[in-house]
Amino acid sequence: MKNKTAIEWLVNELKSQSIDLTKWHNELVEQAKKIEKRQIIEAFNEGEDLGDRRNYTGDKYYIAKFKTINSGV
């Protein structure tokens, strides 16, 4: 099972409590997911290199840790 971002966790919690995410809310959630994805990638790219990362980028890290089929980002 892949890790969940904070936004994915929040959406799942809201859905599990039968809280309707209207189109307006969905747009905000998608915008938040994009911001969070960018923050994760930037943090990885700027982080301390503790190993051989020559072929490992923030994008690859995000996909490996957080990308799910239905994540939408």
The pLDDT tens digits of the residues spanning 12-62 come to 877 787 777 676 677 778 888 888 888 888 888 877 666 666 677 888 888
How many domains is the chain partitioned into structurally? Answer: 1
In a domain, 1, yes or no: no
Asked if the structure places residue 72 within a domain, the reply is no
- 33 within domain boundaries: yes
Domain boundaries, position 34:
6-66
Cα 15 to Cα 63: distance, rounded to the nearest angstrom: 24
Distance of CA 36 to the CA centre of its chain: 6
Q: How far apart are CA 22 and CA 37, in angstroms?
A: 22
Is residue 2 scored above 70 in pLDDT? Answer: no
pTM of the model: 0.56
